[in-house]
Structure 1
Amino acid sequence: MLVLSRKLKESIQIGDDIELKIIAIEGDQVKIGINAPRNVDIHRKEVYLAIQEENNAAAQTVSIDVLKGFLKK
């Protein structure tokens, strides 16, 4: 893991397309602005993990019989 220190209004550039900018520091909270292309999904980690869990659960509930039914149509 790369650890970088940044001050207010300083940025971190990721590749050519993604910029992370420190917008505000209030107590123990840091506000980060993210400038990235629209095709890049950006989520808080807990939201990302919840999406992954939902996707895995949905993939496991589809049975082979249901898929075969789609092929017959």
Structure 2
Amino acid sequence: MLILTRRTGETIVIETPSGEVVEVTVLGNNGPQIRMGVTAPKHTSIDREEIYKRKKAEASHG
């Protein structure tokens, strides 16, 4: 796992092997919560972890 530190307004850039770019920007924080913005190609699915896991579980159960 790569661990990065970013301040409000700073961005992390992720480039896929196919050359697509996903940007994650720290928008701010309120105590223990951090607000992030994600910019990605429209066909890219972006979910919170619990939603992603639920979708995968539902798909595997038909």
Q: Same fold (TM over 0.5)?
A: yes
TM-score, with structure 1 as normaliser: 0.76
Task: Give the number of the structure whose residues are more often strand, by fraction.
Answer: 2
The percent identity for this pair of structures is: 31
- The count of residues paired between Structure 1 and Structure 2 equals 58
- Segments of 5+ residues of structure 2 without an aligned counterpart are none
- Segments of 5+ residues of structure 1 without an aligned counterpart are 59-73
Larger RCO, structures 1/2 (Cα 8 Å, 6+ apart): 2
Stretches of 4+ aligned residues off by more than 6 angstroms: none
TM-score, with structure 2 as normaliser: 0.89
Task: Give the number of the structure whose residues are more often helix, by fraction.
Answer: 1
Q: CA RMSD in A?
A: 0.8
Please state how far the C-alpha of 1:37 moved relative to its aligned partner: 0.4
